[in-house]
Amino acid sequence: MKDVVMETLKEFKVAHRVFGVTTDRASNMIKFFDLLADMETDRRSFSRTAQFSPEDKPHIVNKVAEVAIDKKVDTVSKIRACVVYSRRPTIRENFLASIHPATEDLKLPLDVATRWNSLFHMVESAYARRVESHDHLSTRKGAIKNDVPSAGEWIEVEDLIELLKPLEAVSVDCSAFKSSTFHLALAELEFLRSHLKAFNEDYAKAHWICELTKDTLAKLEDWLKLSWKKPGIRIQVPMIARLLDPSIKDAYLPTVESRTAASTTLKHIVQLYKTAPSERRGSESTSQSAVSAPKEPLSIRERLIAQATSGADTQLNEEDQYFLDPKESAKRDVLDFWSMSELRYPTLHRIVKDVLAAQASSVLSESAFSGSGRYITVLRNRLEPEAIQAMLCLNSLTNVFEAMVATMIDDE
């Protein structure tokens, strides 16, 4: 695996620009990165490389949502019993015959323990069929009659769907190209945190809904807290991304020890950037000078911002100055802030361009391998690698283009 990756990087002449490797936490991936980082040849190319192996955003959402699975809720147990009963072949046929207008699909999926969102889909589908389920199952003989949720319980299920729907949306967004970078994925998690806090303060909800929300919020807060280790080759990129969000900074650092550790880690990374190989800096400056066009005169607003952001205290280094400066509003766009702060924090500005653009999940690359199965079939199994690569790239670019068009339509 290491040899193939190195051959690919050298083929496209990008080995010197590798900033990090996004992987899962499987033992073979950890070993792969160790081999990559410990190579005697090209060591200078990888002197700044980090392994993005901490919990990625979809994994965090999954861990948080597992609270809903672990909670033993009578209403959810009743829904599960009704779904299991309705999916029996003979019962299913009678159920379908009683539905008007007629349909060929019962649309009652059953949840599985390994997929938290299967619980959401089961509850949401059962809620959509609540009238038909009540009419059909309440007339059946046996214990199933006692498992049919009442009208009051269905109201509580509506609140449960309202609670879980943003978790489903964030999980999908963080797993797809829409929020695949740390810059966007962090915003998704902050949105989820705000949703849970607002839901937790709504005392009109059922008691078990409030308790579930409280536990879910506590789990999310635990995962968002920064954990610190000694600075090393495996830089915790999600941690650094939160530090470099001017509206968050050290908000999750309650103790002096954690703040000191944060400063030490950030200084370590700053030092890595300042001591980057000379050919790397040269290639960056050369590429920038080659493509840079004459800049237009700055507007009055831009000149004022540049003057204000370039007046850093010369007594302090830029990372200390960054922490001492007041936090920005949560509504302030992160990229807008850093684009205006290049003069004040030059090295941090370079780090931000790498960290916030890093892939927050390995789902995209895994999906690329899975997607190849749609092109390599029994009847089309002799395609050249170049043709498969072209089709995969075309499909990816088409999805990006469609998303851009949809965004433009929404903005209008």
pLDDT at 41: 45
In this predicted model, what pLDDT tens digit does every residue of 346-367 receive, in sequence order?
999 988 888 887 776 666 666 7
Alpha-carbon distances, residue 51 vs 44, 80, 185, 234 (angstroms): 16, 41, 18, 5
Q: What is residue 127's predicted lDDT score, i.e. its pLDDT?
A: 92
- Tell me the C-alpha distance between 117 and 113, whole Å: 10
Instruction: State whether 63 and 103 are in the same domain.
Output: yes
256 in a domain, yes or no? no
pLDDT attached to residue 211: 86
The confidence score (pLDDT) of residue 329 equals 85
**Do 85 and 8 have their domain in common?**
no
Residue with tokens 């769907």: 161
Instruction: Note whether 18 and 71 are same-domain residues.
Output: no
Mention every residue, 6+ apart, whose C-beta is less than 8 A from residue 300.
Answer: none
Between 57-70 and 207-224, two packed helices, what is the crossing angle to 10 degrees? 150
Calculate mean pLDDT across residues 79-102.
82
Q: Which two tokens stand for residue 203?
A: 């005392």
Tell me what pLDDT residue 57 has: 59
Query: CA-to-CA distance for 57 and 55, rounded, in angstroms?
Result: 7
Residue 180 CB-half CA count within 13 A: 14
Q: Is the peptide bond before 101 cis (omega within 30 degrees of 0)?
A: yes
DSSP summary character for residue 21:
E
Higher per-residue confidence, 303 vs 155: 155
Query: Which has more confidence, 149 or 303?
Result: 149
Residue 158 confidence (pLDDT): 92
Determine the average pLDDT of the residues in 156-177: 82
3-class state of residue 102 by DSSP = coil
Spatial separation of the C-alpha atoms in residues 220 and 60, rounded to whole Å? 8
> Do 104 and 41 sit in the same domain of this protein?
no
Six token digits for residue 235: 């830089």
> What average pLDDT does the chain have?
75
pLDDT mean over 196-203 = 86
Dihedrals phi, psi of 112, to nearest 5 degrees? -125, 150
Q: Is residue 6 part of a domain?
A: yes
Domain-ending residue, one of 36, 53, 70: 53
Q: In this structure, is residue 275 part of a structural domain?
A: no
Same structural domain for residues 23 and 93? no
What local confidence, expressed as pLDDT, does residue 299 receive?
A: 53
Closest by Cα among 84, 89, 88, 82 to 135: 82
Residue 90, domain member (yes or no): yes
Domain shared by 62 and 175, yes or no: yes
DSSP class of residue 115 equals: B
Q: Tens digits of per-residue pLDDT, 240-285? A: 787 888 888 877 676 777 777 777 888 888 887 887 654 444 444 4
Among left, alpha and beta (phi > 0; psi -120 to 50; other), residue 8 is alpha
Residue 406 has pLDDT above 70, yes or no: yes
Whether residue 110 is found in the same domain as residue 145 = yes
Q: Is 288 exposed, middle or buried (0-12, 13-18, 19+ CB in 10 A)?
A: exposed
Least confident of 7-16, 117-126, 252-261: 252-261
DSSP 159-172: HHHHHHHHHHHHHH
Hey, what are 303's tokens?
């000149």
Which tokens belong to 246? Answer: 């001017």
| Residue 135, in any domain of the structure | yes
Residue 20, beta-bridge partner list: 50
Choose one of 53, 75, 93: the last residue of a domain: 53
Task: Tell the residue number behind the tokens 């938290």, with chain if given.
Answer: 116
d(CA 148, CA 35): 57
pLDDT (average), residues 173-184:
65
> Does residue 94 sit in the same domain as residue 48?
no
Q: Please tell me the distance from the alpha carbon of residue 368 to that of residue 393, in angstroms, as a whole number.
A: 9
C-beta of residue 164 within 8 angstroms of C-beta of residue 83: no
What percentage of the chain has pLDDT greater than the value 90? 4
Q: 110-141: buried (b, 16+ CB within 10 Å) or exposed (e) per residue?
A: ebeeeebbebbbbbbbbbebbebbbebbeeee
**Among the three residues 207, 226, 254, which one is the final residue of a domain in this structure?**
207
Closest CA to 47 of 319, 237, 360, 280: 280
| 108 belongs to a structural domain | yes
Range of the domain at 385: 375-411
What is the domain count for the chain? 3
Q: Higher model confidence: residue 23 or residue 340? A: 340
Tell whether pTM > 0.85: no
Cα separation values, 286 from 13, 277, 279, 289, Å? 15, 14, 10, 5
In sequence order, what are the residues at sequence separation of 6 or more whose Cβ sits closer than 8 angstroms to the Cβ of residue 194? none
Residue 106 lies in a domain: yes
Residue 313: pLDDT band (50, 70, 90) is: very low
Backbone phi, psi, residue 19, to 5°: -100, -40
Q: Tell me, yes or no, whether 40 and 118 share the same domain.
A: no
